[in-house]
Chains A and B, each alone.
Chain A
Amino acid sequence: MKKKDVILISVVLVIALISFGILKFMQKDGKEVIVTMNGKMVYTTDLREDQVYKIPVKDGENVMEISDGKVRMKKADCPDQICKHHRAIEKSGETIVCLPHKVVIEISSDTKEQELDGITR
């Protein structure tokens, strides 16, 4: 290894740790679960409502499960099975991605109710 190698590695790790810290700092308790396919929202629900939801994927299957305020991909028939391995998510900003099926499950800290409150007020 050369000196420049060490500098490069340190710079990358420092950038990673700082951005990691910023993301963690901005994280709040999750309230809403949003499911998107091809960038379009197909389903949204409350994180506190335990349920099993079958995502309407063409030629495939993705089933998401919400229990105890956590979301996970319960079933998936995608070739890589990466989404199924993701740990359950619960904080705002966290996502589970299924690249082959172009599905993203994300958690937001806002809820529909808050938005509605804002409008009625």
Chain B
Amino acid sequence: MTKRVAADGLFISLSLVVSYIEVMLPIPLGIPGVKIGLANAVIMVLLFFSTWQRALGISVLRIVLAGFLFGNPMTIVYSLAGGVLSLFVMVILKKMEEFSAVGISVGGGVAHNLGQLTVAVLLMENAKIYYYAPVLLITGTIAGIAIGALTGVLIKKMPKQLF
């Protein structure tokens, strides 16, 4: 139990560090939701080595903490919508046992972006923003491939005892 709490602390810190790196390196397209999603590598490793409940808990904590610490509290709700939908899709894709980390990550990246966009449309009460959907599909796919490849390496190299 103590070991698990310590490990969870480590995962949250790690995901916060990579979130901070992303805040320092924004992608200046001017389109909300375009990002690499480095923290998703941490979430995916948890999904592979542990349970989806644990991945969900750490993902939600990460988003809320990152929002208050160095992000933007006003946009936590967008990130949460993206994060939860993304995890939901990744859990399903993983259960199907037909996809590798890359496929799972692409599904998660695309779901993240579309979830965030939909919440933006609802909160801003303006469906015109769906104009960004194609761009977000493409950036979500590219980011998903990169993060999936990274996760594949992590799964091979990380010691299983850590979990």
Contacts and interface: CB of A to CB of B under 8 A. Distances in A.
A85 B106 contact: no
Interface stretch (A43-51, A75-83, A113-121): A75-83
A23 interface: yes
B6 to A, nearest CB: 33
A39 B124 contact: yes
B128 A106 contact: yes
B126 A9 contact: no
A82 B32 contact: yes
Q: Tell me whether chain B's interface is mostly helix, strand or loop, or mixed.
A: helix
Nearest to A94: B131
A63 interface: no
A83 B30 contact: yes
Contacts of A19: 133-134, 137
Contacts of A40: 125
Nearest to A24: B134
B141 A12 contact: yes
Interface stretch (B43-51, B54-62, B70-78, B80-88): B70-78
A86 B98 contact: no
B106 A8 contact: yes
Q: Which of A38, A94, A99 has the most CB of B within 10 A?
A: A99
A5 B124 contact: no
Given A16-B134, A82-B31, 9 more contacts: A1-B102, A2-B98, A5-B106, A13-B137, A13-B141, A85-B29, A97-B32, A99-B120, A102-B124
10 contacts: A9-B106, A16-B141, A19-B134, A23-B134, A79-B72, A80-B32, A99-B75, A104-B126, A104-B128, A106-B128
